[in-house]
Amino acid sequence: MGYQRGWDRERDLREVLLEQRAKDAERGFTGSGPHRADIRVRSGGVGAADVLSRGQQKLVVCAMKLAQANLFSASRGQDAVILVDDLPAELDVRHRIELCGVLVSMRCQMLVSCVDTRDLQGCWAGLDPGQYRVFHVEHGCATPGTAT
């Protein structure tokens, strides 16, 4: 794993921002800074994005985020709140169920979105219906829904 901080490592961030100020103002956004940071995952000298499927890439990112949530919980003494946007996307049924099992085992508050609730069928084994709620969101309005 490698970390790229989002600006030239040979220079101070303040110096970079001052130099690019006019250009950034013209573009309407800041082109350098911590918001441009990235983590590069490699295996055998090859970038993960070059050899992993989209589903595998998603699982790597989820593993990293869940590890971060565990570290947060351990260091702060309070549970993290986890948001997983479009959980079923790029994941087959087996991996959806495994990921949901990990989420359930963490016993923290989570918000999970998906396009079709049927894609999460069987993913919440071990949870009583009173332990979760389903909402249908359409045009910015949330209404109670039903799990399938």
DSSP letter for 33, please.
S
Predicted confidence (pLDDT) per residue in 16-69, tens digit:
999 999 999 999 999 999 999 999 998 888 999 899 999 999 999 999 999 999
Count Cβ atoms below 10 Å from residue 28 Cβ, excluding itself: 6
Predicted confidence (pLDDT) per residue in 61-108, tens digit:
999 999 999 999 999 999 999 999 999 999 999 999 999 999 988 888
Write down the H helix ranges in the chain: 13-27, 48-51, 54-76, 93-106
The model carries a pTM of: 0.75
Residue spans of the domains in the chain: they are 1-40, 52-144
